[in-house]
Amino acid sequence: MAKKRLLIVDDQIGIRILLLEVFSVEGYETFQAANGRAALEIVRTHTPDLVLLDMKIPGMDGLEILKKIKEMNRDVKVIMMTAYGELDMIKEATDLGALMHFTKPFDIDELRVAVNMQLTEGGPSPRFAAGT
């Protein structure tokens, strides 16, 4: 079975490195981009299953990137990452097809669980099942 592909889009290298480490350990093929142009090129060439997308990116903002990702491939799942105070943009992101958002600083375990649930076929993986 092919590895699920995850793209991390954030202009802060520390966040990209942290998330790359976390999701590589989880067994995903991970890609990273510091800006919208690089992110869209990765979407075009590697077709990630899920994109973790920061709302504030220099040059092209997260909403613009989200719009373009969905134009390229409606099936790519997107989870937004936002700084406090960008809540007005969340509704628009949801309208554009984002599944959920995490406000920075986020709990890395909550984010990991959310990504795993989105990328596990048929919902949550068995290890989250009740009564085990």
| CATH number 3.40.605.10 is the correct assignment for the domain at 5-128 | no
Give the integer Cα–Cα distance in Å for 67 and 39.
12
Q: Which residue has the tokens 């969905």?
A: 70
Chain segment 114-130, per-residue pLDDT in tens = 999 999 965 443 443 34
The whole-model pTM stands at 0.89
pLDDT at 122: 52
Q: Give me the residue spans of the domains in the chain.
A: 5-128
Length of the chain: 132
